[in-house]
Chain A
Amino acid sequence: MSFLEIKNLHVEVEDKKILKGLTLTVEKGQVAAIMGPNGSGKSTLAYVLAGKPGYQITEGDILLNGESILEMAPDERAAKGVFLAFQYPVEVPGVATMTFLRTSLNAQRKTRGEGEVSTPEFMKLVRETSAHLGISADMLKRGVNVGFSGGEKKRQEILQMAVLQPRLAVLDETDSGLDIDALKVVADGVNRLRSPERSMIVITHYQRLLNYIVPDVVHVMAKGKVVRTGGKELALELEAKGYAEYVGEAA
């Protein structure tokens, strides 16, 4: 059984059909890249996996570890191990990053029937991961993402991922708005979290990110479906040829 099975998924947003029969499986421990032109439904897929309100699923199912997650609220999905690294992380003024991390982790643990994390253990994890990601102690005290640059916000997302230790991480255009140095830091942070127990979906428009986060498999999305699947070399082919052929094909 695959860890994630998306079966014939049809999704509408405000009566507009975005996903039109998407089928996709991700194995345990696999890193799957999803590439595709703008408007192909990549970000919609990310939001639907995380359970964002406002997306109507008209057909199909999403099974996580064999269990449908369609009826679950976002926080229940998070407790089951789903994590979305946002393309545009939001600012939460007045809630310190440290408080936010701890509140999130403990909320998940509570839902799973586990006890609260011990403070020394938690602090150690946050400090070590922050050091790798170049996040200062001062930034941890400030409100979540408040006043941070695009690159700093992406690093915060990876820090959250490291603390929450998800079983399925969905990275939505994590490379957007990053210069090459920031991209390396973020990719390095993601690579450190690769594990046989953790599946990842890396959504990107460009091949560049995949030089640093090397995927096991590459799926191409166009017009709300997966239209082609291949190895990591498929990314290079797309970089060379562009998406024109897929945009035409599915039309």
Chain B
Amino acid sequence: MADVTPMKTPAEQALTAAYEAARGKLVGKGALADLRADAFQRFEASGLPHRRVEEWKYTDLRMLMREAYPLAPAPDAAAKARAKEAGQILAGVDCRRLVFVDGAFAPELSDLTPEAGLTVGSLAEALANTGNLGDALVAEHVGKTFATEDMAVALNTAFMGDGAVIRVADDTTLQRPIHLVFASGSDKPSASFVRSLVVIGKGAQVTIIEDHDSSEAQVNAVLELVVGDDAKADYYKITRAKALHVASLLASVGAGAMFDTFAFTSDSGVVRNQHFIRFAGEDTQGNIRGVSLLRGKEHVDTTLLIDHAAGHCASREQFKAVLDDQSHGVFQGKIVVEPHAQKTDAKMMTRALMLSDEAESDNKPELEIFADDVACGHGATASALDPGLMFYLMSRGIGAKEAESLLIQSFIGEALEEIEHEGIREALTFAAVRWLGARG
């Protein structure tokens, strides 16, 4: 069947208009401008991804993105004031806060205390300047961490405005986690395209948190993460995004590294979290995890592409979702083991707890194995609260409502218990308990 280009949706038309209008103003020249133009052409050719694009089958952006909000203006004082409340989920954790308001770096809200081995800058600055470290780093890595045809990443490349550029020198152990807070400050619906780059040197130890706390803003975020050999990198993604939110992690992990990720999503509208992770060196251990809490008509999609490109790596993918009301949870996890990646040990598990008959959970685990000496497996469950457990708790005197709460907490707790950082674990546990407390 011939691939007929369908009529453009209003959102697609708005994106085209926005690109035409912004083209002259978007930072970056030469190769970068070409990169943008290329990416946009691909969007022009295929439009927003929809249900007939396999990777987007359950998150049909053409349907879900009714309109494209205008690009956010540079934040004014009022916007910055509104953004101060963002990221409070980790208020009790001693972090280095770097704040972005409507996608733009806000140095005056950020902690720029110098630390040996750490370089912090903004993407807009790096793209505009020439000759400094940021620019060299950007030229070396942006768009090259993980090659993908993904349309959300392409749109981000076309429109990327600002974001964090962080370099951690070899053998540096950062004293505090880096908390990247992406806040919405504009009081009008607006869109931002943030692109961050984090390059972690050999043997360095870093905890980085990408925290999106946005109200009525459409956000397309990409974080490119390069983890050096023998490094220990912990990456957290916290999402509470009321409007449309699409975030892509593009990660390349070196040899002998420890790489843990945890994605926590709650109180959101439509979220798509994509993790593209390549194990590029041997003997690396990865734990890719997450918890999503959904209610109302919320839609949260977790899509993984785990590429075992080198042998002797172990990865564990564990995701949990709690679905209430008419919410819709999606988990797609693909593990690819390349031909030479012998002795790969990969296990993926996803579990959905269904609290309502009207909630929907779609699980699509996939293994693509091209090597012959590997141990790979996956499992997926979707179930209601166990009546046997309910009866056990109630037979001890615990009321139905409290028993339900305890069991949901237990389901979430099992996943949160795995978080190594005590402060973050406690903060997310508290957030989960609060979410439960708000359950009608």
Contact = CB atoms under 8 A, between A and B. Distances in A.
Contacts of B396: 75, 78, 83, 100, 104, 107-108, 160, 164
A103 B413 CA distance: 17
B410 A75 contact: no
Interface in B377-393: 386-389, 391-393
A53 B400 CA distance: 12
- What is the predominant secondary structure among interface residues of chain B facing chain A? helix
A51 interface: yes
A89 interface: yes
Contact of A104 (B398, B409, B411, B412): B398
B397 A107 contact: yes
Nearest to A86: B392
A60 interface: no
B188 to A, nearest CB: 42
A75 B409 contact: no
Contact of A164 (B397, B412, B414): B397
Contact of B410 (A143, A160, A164): A143
A93 B410 contact: yes
A105 B391 CA distance: 16
Contacts of B388: 90
Contact of B407 (A92, A104, A107): A92
B79 interface: no
A107 B399 contact: yes
A194 to B, nearest CB: 21
A95 B395 contact: no
Contact of B397 (A89, A93, A108): A108
A122 to B, nearest CB: 14
B391 A94 contact: no
Interface in A89-122: 89-90, 92-95, 100, 103-105, 107-108, 111
Contact of B414 (A52, A84, A89, A93): A93
A92 B406 CA distance: 9
Contacts of A35: none
A74 B394 contact: yes
Given A53-B391, A107-B402, A94 B413 contact: yes
B61 to A, nearest CB: 35
Contacts of B395: 50-52, 74-75, 77-78, 83-84
Given A53-B387, A90-B388, A103 B400 contact: no
A73 interface: yes
Contacts of B413: 93-95
Interface in A42-99: 50-53, 73-75, 77-79, 83-84, 86, 89-90, 92-95
Given A53-B387, A78-B394, A94 B410 contact: yes
A95 B402 contact: no
A90 B397 contact: no
Contacts of B410: 92-95, 143
A103 B391 CA distance: 15
Nearest to B411: A94
Given A84-B395, A104-B396, A94 B414 contact: yes
B402 A103 contact: yes
Interface in B382-440: 386-389, 391-400, 402-403, 406-407, 409-414, 417
Contacts of A86: 392
A104 B398 CA distance: 5
Contacts of B402: 103, 107
A199 B410 CA distance: 33
Nearest to B417: A94
Nearest to B409: A94
B392 A107 contact: no
Interface in A174-222: none
B266 to A, nearest CB: 18
Interface in A208-238: none
A143 B417 CA distance: 11
A75 B400 contact: yes
A73 B389 contact: no
Given A92-B407, A95-B410, A52 B393 contact: no
A104 B393 CA distance: 8
A153 to B, nearest CB: 11
Residue from A51, A100, A105, A164 whose CB has the most chain B CB atoms within 10 Å: A100
Contact of A74 (B386, B391, B406, B414): B391
Quick one: which of A51, A107, A111, A143 has the most chain B CB within 10 A?
A107
Give the most central of A53, A73, A104: most B CB within 10 Å: A104
Which interface residue of B387, B397, B398, B417 has the most chain A CB atoms within 10 A?
A: B397
B399 A75 contact: yes
Interface centre among B391, B392, B406, B414 (most CB of A within 10 A): B392
A164 to B, nearest CB: 7
Contacts of B406: 92, 95, 100, 103
A74 B387 CA distance: 12
A73 B409 contact: no
A94 B410 CA distance: 4
A89 B395 CA distance: 12
A52 B387 CA distance: 9
B398 A89 contact: no
A94 B403 CA distance: 13
21 contacts: A50-B391, A73-B394, A73-B400, A74-B395, A75-B395, A75-B398, A75-B399, A79-B397, A84-B395, A86-B392, A90-B386, A90-B388, A90-B389, A94-B411, A94-B413, A95-B406, A95-B410, A100-B406, A107-B399, A111-B399, A164-B397
10 closest Cβ pairs, A-B complex:
A94-B410, A94-B413, A108-B397, A78-B397, A104-B396, A74-B394, A75-B394, A107-B397, A94-B414, A107-B398
Given A50-B395, A94-B417, 11 more contacts: A73-B400, A74-B391, A74-B395, A78-B395, A86-B392, A90-B389, A93-B414, A94-B413, A103-B402, A104-B393, A107-B402
